[in-house]
Amino acid sequence: MTRPIAFSGNTLDRDERHRKDEAYLATSLQEDKTRILPVWKLAPLVREGDEKRLAWATPAILDGHGGPDPVFLGVADGRAHFAVDISAHGEPLKEFGWEGAASFPDLRATVGLLPPGDGGIAAQARHIVDWHSRHGFCPGCGEKTRPKDGGWARICTACSSEHFPRTDPVVIMLVTDGERCLLGRQPGWPKPMVSALAGFVEGGESLEEAVRREVREEAGIQVGAIRYVTSQPWPFPASLMIGCEAEAVSRRIQIDPSELESADWFSKDEVRAALEAPTQRLGVPPPIAIAHHLIRAWVGK
Ligand SMILES: [Zn+2]
């Protein structure tokens, strides 16, 4: 089986029915079989050792927990799974006795070492824990909000308006003219790394319009046909990467220096070689990035 793209492939049943069942959620949080994923400063707990995987705790870690409510992630093997933000703890590894057995490594650096299903769960947990940490107050009236529906909504304690976790769509497109593709480098990226162009979809804009606008603004290239290829959750903090291939109908590059340091056309042969090892002119993004997969699909590898 092909490994799913990083951060996709979540193996939990998100089980929307049970989110609204307060009795089920309360009972689950009393049961030893329930699995709790501790998240500290937005990093999920990962088991140390040769085979890294998410490290699950039991509801016992919630005894005396004064922090945010656990969020219901879903169900697998008849067991409820939650994530809980334990960032209020100064030294959680020491306090919970996890030292040597588990740690909170940087998720971007670790996701490629986790089993694919765990990467998807880590994305879900990071995304929703981050959302709660930044939405304690109502954007309508300024009063406090509290979580509901197992953590998949918040409701204002004063005006009762409901707020839902947001996902921010980003288009990322490999622009090609058939035999060559357009890759660019943002200021600050290590040389010779380049990638597909990307940008946030704006309000009132279709995906096709966002692709055409971003490519025109960043590189001065006009785009014709656009084809959706694949997508990727990117929980830093809340993006959904929508991967496309876009057909160039003009060739002359004119970069916007505030967005790109450079951009150029690269042949299939050059790109194939760079997938093996970076060349002096060209380094492609690592497999964790959706751009890697768009590039690989285009060269037919
Ligand atoms: Zn309010």
Tell me how far the alpha carbon of residue 137 lies from the centroid of ligand 1, in angstroms: 8
Measured in Å, residue 165 CA sits from the centre of ligand 1 at 16
Packing angle of the helix pair 290-299, 268-276 (nearest 10 deg): 130
Cα 163 to ligand 1 centre (Å): 10
Ligand 1 centroid to residue 2 C-alpha, Å = 46
Report the separation in Å between the CA atom of 164 and the middle of ligand 1, taken as the mean of its atom positions: 13
94: tokens are: 């020491």
Distance 144 CA to ligand 1 centre (A): 7
Cβ-Cβ contacts under 8 Å for 189 (sequence gap 6 or more): 195, 261
pLDDT confidence of residue 2: 64
CA of 151 to the centre of ligand 1 (A): 17
pLDDT at 301: 66
End-to-end CA distance of the chain: 16
**How confident is the model at residue 3, as a pLDDT?**
72
C-alpha of residue 212 to centroid of ligand 1, in Å: 38
Compute the distance between CA of residue 166 and CA of residue 33 in angstroms, rounded to an integer.
31
Q: Ligand 1 centre and the CA of 158: distance in Å? A: 5
Task: Give residue 155 CA to ligand 1 midpoint distance, Å.
Answer: 8
- Distance of CA 71 from the midpoint of ligand 1 (Å): 22
Taking the centre of ligand 1 as the mean of its atom positions, its distance from the CA of residue 141, in whole angstroms, is 4
Report CA(147)–ligand 1 centroid distance (Å). Answer: 13
**pLDDT in 10s for each residue of the chain, 301 residues:** 467 899 999 999 999 999 999 999 999 999 999 999 999 999 999 999 989 999 999 999 999 888 899 999 999 999 999 999 999 999 999 999 999 999 999 999 999 999 989 999 999 999 999 999 999 999 999 999 999 999 999 999 999 999 999 999 999 999 999 899 999 999 999 989 999 999 999 999 999 999 999 999 999 999 999 999 999 999 999 999 999 999 999 999 999 999 999 999 999 999 999 999 988 889 999 999 999 999 999 999 6
Cα 240 to ligand 1 centroid, rounded to whole Å: 28
CA of 143 to the centre of ligand 1 (A): 5
CA–centroid distance, 67 to ligand 1, in Å, is 22
Alpha-carbon Rg for the chain, nearest whole angstrom, is 22
